[in-house]
Chain A
């Protein structure tokens, strides 16, 4: 744990100054811009081959791993710990390939003065990008250590191997890493191919490594940015406008300035902030200032009672997501359905927080942003300073599940820190600020037509979706909420239609998992953002997979086929087949007996068509008196490629299922025509223990020797679809509009039977 008492803390310079034997010059590559998906690497050329994982973006080995003169190993990742467990799984990769105990690795996570630029920690990419880079860098450094030891020992390197922090020879020669590391130049480009250990030889990877952060978190250790209290720290609060387009008429600054403990009241245009000595004083001052403020407001929000119609009526730009240019042939029956999703909230339990500190013209911000470099760029622009004058250090916050208020809090901490040079300021959002100003997962509408041929196989697939970008992350100042209310406001970044293989709003919309003679997929991209929106766990894949797998469920019913067999008959990828079979078998799909008020549902998707394979079978219970649905149990088959930390995969998947269940059954952001009205847990309820299933069972299909596949978001879409399919099974009616609430269940049950 870094010493939070001493702001400044480590820097790459002082870290390396102490007896480092390696000559290091840190390399910076440009930020990835505003998408959480970095553009695919350019095609390899003779002088620039494609490298494993994020080594492509930062090819120097010493950007990732440093070994000092005493043999101490430090691993650098540009990724951040979000509760997904990378502080544990990334060191596992390094320890394995360097053949040292897990505890021998010190990990430094995202810090713009220290670590590689890995853009955003998002899209289930941590292990794929950073884990792969660290593992390969470690393997290559191991080979460099062996080569150097061979020179020193005067033996053939082929006779040497690495073992427990030493290079060991066939004849008992033994050199500690510290003995050879001083002679190695690690500031070298990584090679395209590494000599990776075989799965059977793993000592650290593939094992359920206990998370390094849990003992501290359960004993009151300093773990979160909220826990920082550097010497002389002041407490900041902001007063947000009551609605997006409000302008401040007046606020009683003079009175609030006189309140006990108040150090500064800040007004800049319509932006209001407070700095006070004690936290409770800051809260009181914030309340007084908020209560005194008078605003002009504008009714700019869509009519929530007609949200799908509104979304479809906004100006769109069409993009083709998939088109195999083959006409539909032999269709005899069709499933035709429209699905909708409301705006939904990240809902972090801890409202966002950041500490800002201006010293000698450099503003340091401790932040739980998912992207320290893009956030740094945005803050530099906000403050009107050069990028090197801002340092963003990732410090854990409450789980974010995407782009929540973290970056905004960082912006506010930077702004307020300018008011009190030399003094650290901790800005803590209040609950309703986190709720109302969250960049929500956007509302969506999807329309799908699946054509069945005479053999009851899916012969045609036509899909269209209406959606925003799912991405308004920082990179520029306009992405930070406060910037819009300053007397010299920054414009929001214009939204652009971008179609990539990994997808964003269109994520998973290309039905690659199924063998389809005809497919045509269109994204009606909505440029305007009447409600603030950005990236939330799984982006468009949540609603796309819900829609697609619900429709596949309906197609199976239309075909008179079993849900599992119908899917298997269209899946060619053996890894997909394996997870489907695992989920079905563990659920007891073939032996399942119908019971009144019970239903079973199935869904399958390969996340992003690129990351983990996941199939899920669920059983639900419907109280037909009240319409309440309860998830009873879930069985999952998942293939995450080479397994680093199996318990981490299970933890993330269990969490994904419960979170998706909550989105699916309960959640919709409420607003009137002017204001967001979901401002607390009364008005935006999420799952409590009363709704938690009896059991969740996860089988990981092992894939020794395969690459890592991102896991953290794989369950979101399939869980929603499986629940929808199970409701269909239980009540004989399908629900099309998320969330699947009791009133919709009752209405569906009361409706006449489907033709």
Chain B
């Protein structure tokens, strides 16, 4: 069965069962690396992507509910050559160790900052609570998200490159 998904601004057709979790469609059919498999249970946030402005666990969301919605992954925030504010901030703050959890962190933070680029540290910590990092990069992630908020406010944009 084919389903059309709007991913990072482009309509793409996926041939998969409607109950296929979005994560597998993104990673395998659309060959996107950003969303990661972490638990398949919605307990770690590695698979976080943004749907219509809100962060979701792509590992538990069937593609059947996503037609007509705008799906965004870390690939949609910018490129190596032209990184978006969130990406720029994570590079500036060197906010990664192994980096596996980072795209999920970035997408959850992006959703927060698009609503409120001036989010306080408490608000950032609270928002990122569903996402796990095992390397202990938290201090840098917090710095990077705050930095991203500054960059977004300077640019006066919602944060896309």
Contact = CB atoms under 8 A, between A and B. Distances in A.
Report whether chain A binds chain B.
yes
Interface of A: 82-85, 208, 210-211, 213-224, 226-227, 229, 278-280, 283, 346-351, 396-399, 401, 428, 430-431, 647, 651-652, 654-659, 662, 680-682, 686-690, 692-693, 695-696
Given A219-B78, A219-B80, A689-B125, A655 B97 contact: yes
27 contacts: A83-B99, A85-B97, A208-B94, A210-B94, A214-B95, A217-B96, A218-B96, A219-B80, A220-B103, A229-B28, A347-B134, A349-B38, A349-B44, A351-B38, A396-B98, A397-B98, A397-B100, A398-B100, A431-B41, A651-B94, A654-B137, A657-B136, A659-B135, A681-B132, A687-B138, A690-B126, A690-B129
Interface of B: 16-17, 20-21, 24, 27-28, 31-34, 36-41, 43-44, 46, 73-75, 77-80, 83, 86-87, 90-91, 94-103, 106, 125-126, 128-129, 131-140, 142
Given A278-B20, A278-B28, A351-B38, 20 more contacts: A211-B94, A213-B96, A214-B90, A214-B96, A216-B80, A218-B96, A218-B106, A219-B77, A219-B79, A220-B75, A224-B33, A224-B100, A347-B134, A349-B98, A398-B100, A428-B37, A654-B140, A658-B138, A688-B129, A690-B129
Contacts of A656: 136
Contacts of A431: 38-41, 43
Contacts of A347: 134
A430 B78 CA distance: 30
A273 to B, nearest CB: 18
B84 to A, nearest CB: 9
A681 B44 contact: yes
A219 B94 contact: no
Nearest to B77: A219
A221 to B, nearest CB: 6
Contact of B135 (A211, A222, A280, A655): A655
Contacts of A283: 40
Contacts of A351: 37-39
B36 to A, nearest CB: 6
A349 B75 contact: no
B135 A399 contact: yes
B97 A651 contact: yes
B90 A218 contact: yes
Contacts of A399: 97-98, 100, 134-135
Nearest to B36: A350
Given A350-B100, A398-B100, A686 B132 contact: yes
Contact of B33 (A221, A430, A647, A659): A221
B134 A659 contact: yes
Given A226-B36, A688-B129, A219 B87 contact: yes
A750 B82 CA distance: 59
Main DSSP-derived SS at the A contact region: loop
B97 A219 contact: no
A482 to B, nearest CB: 20
B16 A278 contact: yes
B125 A227 contact: no
A692 B125 contact: yes
A36 B158 CA distance: 49
B138 to A, nearest CB: 4
Nearest to A697: B139
Given A221-B80, A401-B134, A84 B39 contact: no
A685 to B, nearest CB: 9
Contacts of B103: 217-218, 220
Contact of B99 (A217, A662, A682, A688): A217
B144 to A, nearest CB: 9
B47 to A, nearest CB: 10
Contacts of B140: 651, 654
Nearest to A350: B100
B53 to A, nearest CB: 19
B94 A695 contact: no
A280 B99 contact: no
Contacts of B132: 349, 681, 686, 688
Given A83-B98, A219-B75, A351-B37, A280 B16 contact: yes
Given A278-B28, A680-B41, A696-B139, A349 B90 contact: no
A226 B27 CA distance: 9
A417 B91 CA distance: 37
Contacts of A687: 136, 138
Contacts of B33: 220-224, 227
Contacts of A219: 74-75, 77-80, 83, 87
A104 to B, nearest CB: 19
A567 B100 CA distance: 39
B80 A349 contact: no
B91 A655 contact: no
A655 B83 CA distance: 25
Given A218-B106, A690-B125, A690-B129, A680 B39 contact: yes
Given A229-B31, A278-B28, A681-B39, A349 B100 contact: yes
A210 B24 CA distance: 32
Contact of B24 (A214, A280, A657, A659): A280
Contacts of A430: 40
B77 to A, nearest CB: 8
A597 B33 CA distance: 45
Contacts of B100: 224, 348-350, 397-399
B137 A651 contact: yes
A692 B141 CA distance: 11
Contacts of B102: 217-218
Contacts of A211: 94, 96
Contacts of B77: 219
Contacts of A218: 74, 83, 86-87, 90-91, 96, 99, 102-103, 106
A752 B96 CA distance: 46
Q: Closest 3 interchain pairs by CB? A: A83-B98, A658-B136, A399-B98
A278 B23 CA distance: 12
A398 B78 contact: no
Contacts of B94: 208, 210-211, 214, 647, 651
Contacts of B32: 220
Contacts of B95: 214
Contacts of B78: 219
A461 B131 CA distance: 44
Contacts of A85: 97
A128 to B, nearest CB: 19
B43 A83 contact: no
Nearest to A435: B39
Interface centre among A399, A657, A658, by most B CB within 10 Å? A399
A657 B21 CA distance: 35
Given A219-B74, A398-B100, A350 B38 contact: yes
Nearest to A83: B98
Contacts of A346: 134
Contact of A278 (B24, B86, B97, B129): B24
A213 B97 CA distance: 10
